[in-house]
A and B are shown apart, each in its own frame.
Chain A
Amino acid sequence: MSLSLLIILPLITAIVLLLCNGLQQVRVVALSGATVQLILAFAFLIIYWQKRAAGDQTPMLFEQDYIWFTPLNIHYHIGADGISIAMILLTAFVTIAGILVSWSMEKLSKEFFFLLVFLSMGAYGFFISLDLFTLFFFLEVAVIPKFLLIGIWGSGRKEYSAMKLALMLMGGSALVFVGLAGIYFNTTTPAGAHTFDLMQIAQMHIPLEVQKLFFPFAFIGFGIFTALFPFHTWVPDGHSSAPTAASMFLAGISMKLGGYGCLRVATFLMPDAAHAYSWIIILLATIAIIYGAFATMMQTDLKYINAYSSISHCGFVLLGIGMLTRTAIAGAVMQMVSHGLMTALFFAAIGMLYDRTHTRQVAQLGGLLKVMPFIAAVFVIAGLCSLGLPGLSGFVAEVTVFMGSWQNADAAYRLATILACASIVVTAVYILRAMGKVIMGPLQVDGGHAATLTLSDAGWNEKVAAAILIIGIIAIGIAPFWLNELIGGATTTIIEKLSFK
C-alpha cells in the first residue's frame, strides 16, 4: 500500500466537501473520509508489523521517492517508521473524534469540515515526510486552517487568539526554515550535491560548530509548536478560544508536530549539538512542567485548565528528548501519543459540557454526574489519565519518561527529573479539585439557571467520539508493550545516531 494515500484521501475528502450542500451531506462525507483514514492507519500498522515480523530491518518502510524540484534536489520522499505509524494512528483517532464531536456544527459547516480535513492532511504529510522540504511544506500547511478555525468559529477573544497563534507558529516555522537552510548548505552528498533527504543527511557528519549554530533555530522553531517555555503563550489563548474540534486538533495533533520535529529533525540530524545544549532543553522543559502545573492551579476556566496542563504535559515530551537516553526518548514519543489522545478527550468532554451548560467556569458548575453521567464519566477518565492513573496511557508515558530520565546519571538532570516527578502532585490537586467541583456535589449550573437549560446526556456521536479516544487510552494503558515495540526500532536508530560520535 502506498503511504501517499494518507495525503490523497484527505485531499479527495476535502474536494468532495466543497461540492456538498447542507450540513447533512457535509458531515456524512467528512465522517466517511475520517473512517477510511482510521482504517488506513490500522492497515498500515498491521502491514508494518507483518513486515517487521518477516525480518525487514530497513529503518523506513513504505518508502516512496519522486523528484519534485530538480535544481534544489528536492524530493517528494515519504516513508514511515514506528514513530510515524504511532503518530498516524494518533492523527486518525483525533480526526474522527473531532469530526464526530462537531456533528451539529451549523455555522458555515462546509468550510468548517473542509478546514478540519485539510489540517489532518497537513499532519499526515508532516509525519510521513522523509524530505525536509516536504516536512516544512506540510508543517506550514497545518498552520493556516488553525487561524481560520479559531477566528471564525471560536469564542471569547477569538480574533486576538487566532492572530497570536498564527503569528507565533509562523515565527516557529521561520526559525525552522533558517535551521533547514543551514543543514542544507552545510551537508554534501557523496555525489557532491546538497540534499534535503532526512536519511541521507543522517548519515553525514555535520561539523560541530555548524550544528551548534543551527540546532537552536530548528529546536526552538519546532519547540514553539509544542509549547516550549517561554514560547508557550499561544497555547492558553489558542486553545481556550478555539471551537471544540479545533482545540482537539490543536492539542492532539498540532502540538505533536513540534515534538516530532524536535526529535526527528533537530535532535536526530544534529546529535552533537543536542548533547551540547541538552542542559538548556532540560532546564526549559522543567520550568515548563512546573510553571505549567502551578499556572493550571490558578485557572478557573475548564479550557484554560486543560490548556495550561498541556504546557506542563508537553514539557515531559521535551524533557524526554533532552535527556537523550533511549528509554526517555521512547517515553517522549509515548507521551506525545498519550497526551494527544487524553487532551483530545478532555477538550471533547469540556466541549460537551459547554454545549449544554453554556459556561466553562468551574465555580458555576456542580453535580453534573447526576444529569449527564456519560459526559461526567468521560471527564473523569480524561482527568485521571492526565494525572497519571495506572491503567491509563498517561501513567505509562510519564513513568517511561521518568525512568529514562533517571538513566541519565548527571546529578543536575536527576534533580530535574525529581522536580518533574513532583509536579504530578500538583496535577493531582488541580485535576481532582476541578473534577470534584464540576461533577460531584449538588447540581449547579451557571448560578442556578439550570431550569432554562436542557441538560441531556451525550448523543450517539459524542459517545462514539469519546469511546474511540478512550479505547486508545486504555489500549496503551493496559498493554503498553505494543506501543513500545512499535516505536522501539525507530528509537534505536535515533539513539545509535546520538551515541555515535
Chain B
Amino acid sequence: MKQELIITVIIFILLLLKIGKDLTNEQAINLANGLLLINCIAGLFFNHSGTLFSGMFQTNALIVVEKNILSFGTLIISLQSASWLKNHSHVMEFYILLLSTLLGMFFMISSGNLLMFYLGLELSSIPLAAMANFDLTKKQSSEAAMKFIISSAFASGLLLFGISMVYGSTGTLTFSEMATRITGGPLQVFAFVLLLAGFAFKISVVPFHLWTADVYEGAPVAVTSYLSVISKGSVLFVFISVLYTAFKPMAGTWYNMLFLLSVLTIIIGNLFAIRQNNIKRFLAFSSIAQIGFILVGITGSSQMAVASVVYFVLIYVFSNLAAFGVVSLVSAVTGREQVSDYKGFYKTNPVLSWVLTIALFSLAGVPPTAGFFGKFFLLMSGAGKGNYILITIAALNMIISFYYYLRIVKAIFMDANDQPIERLIIPVYPKLALYICVAGIVVTGLAGYVFDYIHSLSFGF
C-alpha cells in the first residue's frame, strides 16, 4: 500500500501547487521528474507481502517488482516528453493525469478481487483518454481520445458482464476462492470468454486490436508510448495472475484459446506492420505482434512463464521507450512521422540512429540486445508445454518481424534522401532517458542476474 500512498501524495502535491502557485513549465517539469525519481527510488526499498481489506488488496515481492517496472517506465516517459511539454500550457494537468493512471494500475496489479481489479482498471483508463486528447489543437488527437474511450467502455462492459457471470456461478469475486469453486462448466466458460475479451481489448490482442493503430497515431507520442508499454504491461501482469490463480482449474480450456489468439495476433500484427508507412502506426502493429509472443509465453503456464513475461515487459519498457523516445524527439522538432522521413537519418543524426537501431534490434530479438533473451525465454516457456507447432509458427514469424524492423534500419542507414531530417539538438532529459534505455537494453539481457531474480520471485502454477 505504501507505493500507492506515495503516488497519492505526489498527486496531491502537484494539485496543490497547481492551485496555489504559478510555476513555469520548466520548474513544473523539473519538479515532476524529481518526484517521479523519488517514487522510483522509494519503490526499491519496499519488499513486503500481505493482504489488506479482507483480501481485496494483496502485495508480494513480485508485485512490488512489477510496480517498480511501471514507475520506472513512467519516469522514462516523463523525461522523454520534456521537450514536448515545454511549450504546452497544461503541464501540471498532464502529470496529474499520468500519475492517476499509474495509481489505477498499481491498484489493479495488487487486486485480489475482481471488483478491485475493475476499479483499478477504470482509474487507469479514464485519465488515459484525457491524455490521448492532450494535443488540444489537433483534430486527430481528439479523434484518438474518442476512439479510446469508446473501445475502453466497450471492453469494460464486456468485463463487467463476465464478472457478473462469474459471481453468479461461483458466488465469490475473490481470486483465491474462485480457484476453488471454478469447475469449468458452460456458464463459467462463457464468463471466462467475456473476461478474456475484455483483457484482450486492453492489451490489443487480435481480433480486439482495431482501436490500437488509430489511437497510437492520433495521440501525442508520450501518450502513445505510455499506452503501448505501461498500460499494456500492467494489464498483462494482472492477466497472468487472474489466469494462473483464479482460472487455474480451467487451464485446459484457456490453453486452447490462448493458442489460437497468440497465433492470430502474431500473424496479423506482423502482416499489418509490414505495410505501415507512419512510424507510430508501425510501432502499434509491431507491439501487437509482440503481445502475440507474450501470449505464447503465457501458454507455458509455469513459474518460468510468469518470470519470462515479467522479464519481457521489463525489456519491452527499455526497447519500446528507446524507439518512441527517438520518434518523439523527431516528431516534436520536425513534426515528421513517416517511415520514409527516416531515410538518410544516419547522415544527420548518427547517435539517434544508433539508439533507434539498437531499440529496433531489441524489439526484433537480435542478440546481444536484451530482446533476444526476452523472446528466447518466452518461446522456451511456451515450448515447455510440448506444443511445437505453436513454437514453430512463432519462430517463423520472427522472420517476418525481422523484415519490417530491418526495413526501418535500411531506411536509416542505406536509403538516400534529398531532405533528411535535420540535425537535432537533444535536450538533457530526453538524452538521459535514451541513455538509460540503451544501457537497459544491453545490461538486462547479458546480466543473467536480472532474470534469475525475477524468476526467484515468481509464483508457480
Residues of A with Cβ closer than 8 Å to B?
67-72, 74, 133, 137-138, 140-141, 143-144, 147-148, 151-152, 158-159, 162-163, 166-167, 170-171, 174-175, 177-178, 181-182, 184-185, 213, 217
Contacts and interface: CB of A to CB of B under 8 A. Distances in A.
Contact of B413 (A151, A170, A175): A151
Contacts of B384: 185
- Of B303, B304, B399, which is in contact with the most chain A CB atoms at under 10 Å from its CB? B399
Contact of B392 (A71, A137, A178): A178
A151 B346 CA distance: 13
Given A140-B367, A175-B395, A163 B403 contact: yes
Contacts of B399: 167, 170-171, 174
A184 B383 CA distance: 10
Given A69-B451, A166-B406, A159 B379 contact: no
B192 interface: no
B13 interface: no
A170 B403 CA distance: 10
Interface string B300-324: 0001100100000000000000000
A68 B448 contact: yes
Would you call the interface of chain B mostly helix, strand, loop, or mixed? helix
Contact of B396 (A133, A159, A171): A171
Interface string B274-304: 0000000000000000000000000000011
Given A69-B448, A147-B409, A166-B406, 20 more contacts: A67-B448, A68-B448, A70-B455, A71-B307, A72-B380, A74-B448, A137-B367, A141-B367, A144-B361, A148-B409, A148-B413, A151-B410, A151-B414, A159-B415, A167-B406, A171-B396, A174-B395, A178-B388, A182-B383, A217-B392
A151 B399 CA distance: 18
B439 to A, nearest CB: 14
A163 B395 CA distance: 18
Contact of B403 (A140, A167, A178): A167
B448 A141 contact: no
Given A68-B448, A141-B367, A163 B455 contact: no
B37 interface: no
Contacts of B380: 72, 181, 184
Interface string B373-417: 100110110011010100110011011001100100110011100
- Of B304, B367, B377, B455, which is in contact with the most chain A CB atoms at under 10 Å from its CB? B367
Contacts of B415: 159
Nearest to B385: A185
Contacts of A181: 379-380, 383, 388, 391
Nearest to A144: B366
B62 to A, nearest CB: 14
A33 to B, nearest CB: 18
Contacts of A185: 383-384, 386
B304 A143 contact: no
A163 B448 contact: no
Given A137-B367, A171-B399, A181-B391, A159 B414 contact: yes
Contacts of A158: 414
A222 to B, nearest CB: 15
9 contacts: A69-B452, A141-B368, A152-B414, A159-B415, A162-B410, A163-B403, A174-B398, A177-B395, A178-B391
B259 interface: no
A290 to B, nearest CB: 29
Contacts of A137: 367-368, 372
Nearest to A121: B368
A177 B386 CA distance: 14
A140 B366 contact: yes
In which size bucket is the chain B interface?
Answer: 35 or more
Nearest to B392: A178
Interface string B314-352: 000000000000000000000000000000000000000
Contacts of B403: 163, 167
Interface in B404-461: 406, 409-410, 413-415, 448, 451-452, 455
A166 B403 CA distance: 9
A177 B373 CA distance: 12
B402 A72 contact: no
A175 B383 CA distance: 14
A386 to B, nearest CB: 32
Contact of A159 (B367, B383, B410, B452): B410
B367 to A, nearest CB: 5
A26 B416 CA distance: 26
Contacts of A67: 448
A70 B410 contact: no
B379 A72 contact: no
Contacts of B377: 69, 72
Given A143-B366, A144-B361, A167-B402, A182 B395 contact: no
A217 B373 CA distance: 21
A305 to B, nearest CB: 26
B435 to A, nearest CB: 15
A158 B414 CA distance: 9
A182 B368 contact: no
Given A70-B455, A174-B398, A185-B384, A152 B413 contact: yes
Contact of A166 (B383, B392, B402, B414): B402
A163 B383 contact: no
Contacts of B414: 151-152, 158-159, 162
B372 A140 contact: yes
Nearest to A213: B388
A270 B274 CA distance: 37
Contacts of B413: 148, 151-152
Contacts of B304: 71-72
Contacts of B368: 137, 141
- Of A71, A137, A158, A182, which is in contact with the most chain B CB atoms at under 10 Å from its CB? A71
Contacts of A166: 402, 406
A159 B414 CA distance: 7
